[in-house]
Amino acid sequence: MTDQKNHVKDILARVKTAEDMEAVETILESYETDPYRKDLPAWLPEFAKGRGSDSKTALAELKTALGRMKWLRLGIAFHPTEEFTADIGEWMKRSVGYDVVLELQYDHTITGGIKVYFEGKYYDGNLSSTVDRILEEHKERIAKSLFAEHGK
């Protein structure tokens, strides 16, 4: 049982981004279609063989584990580089765990900062949104101060 969990954990560790998830899902589909293909990664046949059960059961269990992964969507103000994506992926692995898939989305409406979507929750750390919130919270005081300066 420990080997089974380790196999799944090792494969889940390969999935850091939405692109990684898509690649693993494509590989699984290819393996289901033709398990003897030469272009499949070495870890996939080993996973299925090393399970002690038939490969269909092993693949179904892996698909279930992939389906349970949580998605962390980050809206950012720039197009991410591979290095940035790798750095964020490593941070996630250390901070959040292996069961999270990172989806980086360029959002032209973000002036600076970040928007975070995770488990049905949303955090708007966009600089312009933060400024808007501050202005909204203090608009009366700001208006009084501006009118007082112009009234003198």
* Domain assignment of residue 7, yes or no: yes
Quick one: 63 and 80 in the same domain? no
Q: Is 106 left (phi over 0), alpha (psi -120 to 50) or beta?
A: beta
pLDDT in tens, 101-122: 889 999 998 888 889 898 899 9
Domains in the chain, number: 2
Q: Is 73 left (phi over 0), alpha (psi -120 to 50) or beta?
A: beta
Domain that holds residue 60: 2-67
pLDDT in tens, 80-105: 998 988 888 888 778 876 678 889 99
* Domain assignment of residue 152, yes or no: no
Query: What pairs with residue 116 in β-bridges?
Result: 74, 123
Residue pointed to by tokens 């850091």: 16
Quick one: 79 and 62 in the same domain? no
* Domain assignment of residue 149, yes or no: no
- pLDDT-based confidence at 54, cuts 50/70/90? low
* Domain assignment of residue 143, yes or no: no
